[in-house]
Amino acid sequence: LMIYNNGDFVPKSKATTSIYDHGFLYGDGVFEGIRAYNGRVFKLREHVDRLYDSAKAIALNIPMSKEEMEEAILETLRKNNLKDAYIRPIVSRGIGDLGLDPRKCPKPNVFIISQEWGAMYGDLYEVGLTGVTVAVRRNSADALSPNIKSLNYLNNILAKIEANEKGGDEAIFFDGNGYLSEGSGDNIFIIKNGKVYTPPTINNLKGITRAAAIELLKEMDIEVCVENLGLFDLYTADEIFVTGTAAEAAPLVKVDGRDIGDGKPGPITKKMIDAFEYITQNTGTP
Ligand code: PLP
């Protein structure tokens, strides 16, 4: 496997950075998660835009243009002969002395990792995932907005640990006000009486799959309401699904031990999964 490193391609074993990289020392950096299907990159421009927005929000200047980044991503896939892949661009603040001041780091480090990738949840797309609400909060009031896809994912990791502990497939976050936020690595949709609800993105990542799902639902003439939701809405939903680059569209059939609807993936969720599969297989940048 060849890894993109600041303009060069190096074998996986040689793709390293220093322990003085502030990405390692302080989680100072940003990343993206992108998928390729059938040799085409899904929503490439959207992911690159978000990467640069994340960088902007932490005052990190990515030392290449968006066009160069897109080309580097496509070249990483070509170099590795990958058709169905997960792609991970990472931009860290770079190497500097101890001390968190970013001015210690003269040059950001850009890596792009890619690997073959199939369905993340296997049989669970048919059976459904179990969700666990977690005590860790996802806070829009934090300076580190949930909108920033930063290298500081501890919040999400703590949520995942809690979900693992409680035996759930995915953790479900609320924010400090008690509003539904998102999963540890995906956005969340609730279906009630034929209408679809999803929280506004103030307290969660502006998911690219989320945006694609909203568009698909509208095309299917299914009403989508973007509004604040609470724990009660989650427990009493007819259906729930989550969306993410890694997870795609996946049904959630149990939350905190309560069956969602009849505990099986519902009709709108199934339509969503099919529609999403269709666009991933039939769109994208070659
Ligand atoms: N929420 C979090 C915290 C994530 O890490 C991700 C994954 O990227 C998502 C949501 C889903 O976003 P997207 O659909 O853009 O992959």
pLDDT in tens, 64-84: 999 999 999 999 999 999 999
Averaged over 42-58, what is the pLDDT? 98
Query: Does the pLDDT at position 140 exceed 90?
Result: no
Q: What percent of the chain has pLDDT over 90?
A: 95
- Residue 118 pLDDT: 85
Whole-number Cα distances in Å, 52 to 32, 46, 145, 284: 10, 10, 15, 20
Ligand 1: centre distance to CA 183 (Å): 8
Q: What tokens does 227 get?
A: 């509004």
Q: For ligand 1, say whether the CB of 156 is within 6 Å of any of its atoms.
A: yes
Phi first, then psi: give them for residue 112, nearest 5 degrees: -130, 115
Q: For ligand 1, say whether the CB of 186 is within 6 Å of any of its atoms.
A: yes
Whole-number Cα distances in Å, 14 to 3, 8, 27, 153, 211: 9, 11, 21, 25, 37
* Residue 180: band (very low, low, confident or very high) from pLDDT cuts 50, 70, 90: very high
Query: Does the pLDDT at position 53 exceed 90?
Result: yes
Catalytic residue among 149, 195, 254, 270: 149
* Residue 139: band (very low, low, confident or very high) from pLDDT cuts 50, 70, 90: confident
DSSP secondary-structure letter at 285?
B
- Residue 143 pLDDT: 76
3-state helix, strand, coil in the chain (%, to 5): 30, 30, 40
Q: For ligand 1, say whether the CB of 205 is within 6 Å of any of its atoms.
A: yes
- Residue 120 pLDDT: 84
Nearest CA-CA partner of 191 in 130, 262, 239: 239
* Pocket residue to mutate for ligand 1, from 140, 188, 245, most atoms within 8 A of Cβ: 245
149 is catalytic: yes
Residues 6+ apart with CB under 8 A from 194: 222, 223, 268
Cα angle 86, 45, 88 (rounded to 5 degrees) comes to 25
Q: Which atom of ligand 1 is nearest to the CA of 183?
A: 1
Going by alpha carbons, the residue nearest to atom 16 of ligand 1 is 245
- Residue 238 pLDDT: 98
Q: For ligand 1, say whether the CB of 22 is within 6 Å of any of its atoms.
A: no
Q: Which atom of ligand 1 is nearest to the CA of 43?
A: 15
In this predicted complex, what is the ipTM?
A: 0.99
Q: Which residues pair with 180 in a beta bridge?
A: 174
Nearest CA-CA partner of 203 in 174, 229, 225: 174
pTM of the model: 0.97
Q: What tokens does 259 get?
A: 């069956």
Q: For ligand 1, say whether the CB of 199 is within 6 Å of any of its atoms.
A: no
Going by alpha carbons, the residue nearest to atom 10 of ligand 1 is 186
Strands, E assignment, 50-128: 85-92, 109-116
Give CA–CA dist 266/179, Å, rounded: 24
Q: For ligand 1, say whether the CB of 181 is within 6 Å of any of its atoms.
A: no
- Residue 122 pLDDT: 86
Nearest CA-CA partner of 226 in 257, 266, 264, 199: 199
Whole-number Cα distances in Å, 169 to 121, 223, 229, 271: 9, 28, 21, 22
pLDDT in tens, 215-262: 999 999 999 999 999 999 999 999 999 999 999 999 999 999 999 999
Ligand 1: centre distance to CA 104 (Å): 30
pLDDT in tens, 146-165: 999 999 999 999 999 999 99
282, containing H or E segment: helix 267-282
Give CA–CA dist 14/10, Å, rounded: 6
Nearest CA-CA partner of 51 in 91, 9, 17: 91
Mean pLDDT for all residues in the chain: 96
Give CA–CA dist 193/99, Å, rounded: 54
Strands, E assignment, 138-274: 170-174, 180-183, 187-192, 195-198, 224-226, 239-244, 248-255, 258-259
pLDDT in tens, 86-136: 999 999 999 999 999 999 999 999 999 999 998 888 888 999 999 999 999
Strands 109-116 and 2-5: antiparallel
Whole-number Cα distances in Å, 40 to 48, 75, 82, 94, 155: 15, 12, 10, 30, 32
